[in-house]
Amino acid sequence: MKVVTTHAELRAALDAAGRGAPVVLAPTMGALHHGHLELVRLARNEAGPRGMVVVSIFVNPIQFDRAVDLESYPRPLDEDLARCRAAGVDLVFVPEAAAMYAADRSVRVHESLLSRGLCGARRPGHFDGVCTVVLKLFMLTRCDAAVFGEKDFQQLAIVRRMVRDLDLPVRIVACPTVRETDGLAMSSRNVRLNPDQRADAPRIHRALSDAARIDGGIDGVRAMLDAARAAIVASPLARIDYLELVDAETLQPVDTLERDAVLATAVFYGDVRLIDHMRVPAQPS
């Protein structure tokens, strides 16, 4: 496994590998857990034995709306590199922020529809930062495909829209949400939960799962949202940032289940913000 930190080193490593086999990117911000390793496994399947799996590890400063999140984001680089090596990654790109962004940068990528609600409404500029760094990583790595987790389903939808609208020659591969044995979605933020918060946090997944099974007939959507909200706020440790039912494709709020939908939430435990979602299939009227 080769580790590079500059654009020039990345180009040299890609040139040395040749252009005959596919390059598959797994973009991460580090603090790798089993969910990230599932991205790597899917990337290897996509690349095949002759292809190249590239993992980027970059805590992207322009997608953070809260300084505390950026400052406290875990950066266990040695452990991350060891995990990449054990998982069979071919190339790891670990750039510095100064190498990714010029001091007088003035261009960002802006998505104007799918990012309006959910996390986008609560984190101004977040998805501009995501789209900008993802586009840069696509161009720098020359990847043929890239793997993203479904846990961040709004991010996945926005990246797909960017690829479609900008005619980017990159195939997006979705990785199903990877969960702990108690149902909590794996996240690098989970390590910041104290023991009581960690023990309580699986209620998020339970609340969404139970609510998604409610019949979606007359007043069904309201009942679904009310049930999920009640189950989450039953804990004094949990504070809801948002809880919405949105169209699975457009991400716009819905009040009927004529099309597939997503029940999505963000919940604070102290200053740790956790997201999760549950898909809700269309139900006959």
Contact 39, 66 (CB under 8 A): no
Contact 185, 179 (CB under 8 A): yes
Q: Which two tokens stand for residue 120?
A: 């986008």
The alpha-carbon radius of gyration of the chain (Å, integer) is: 19
Distance from the Cα of residue 76 to its chain's centroid = 19
Strand partners, 244: 264
Cβ neighbour number for residue 222 with a 10 Å cutoff: 12
Q: Which two tokens stand for residue 11?
A: 């180009």
Contacts (Cβ under 8 Å, ≥6 apart) of 199: none
Catalytic residues: 36
Tell me the three state secondary structure of residue 58: coil
Q: How many degrees, rounded to 5, is the angle at CA 87 between CA 86 and CA 91?
A: 95
User: CA–CA separation, 212 vs 281, rounded Å?
Assistant: 9
DSSP state of 260: -
End-to-end Cα distance, the chain:
54
Contact 23, 56 (CB under 8 A): no
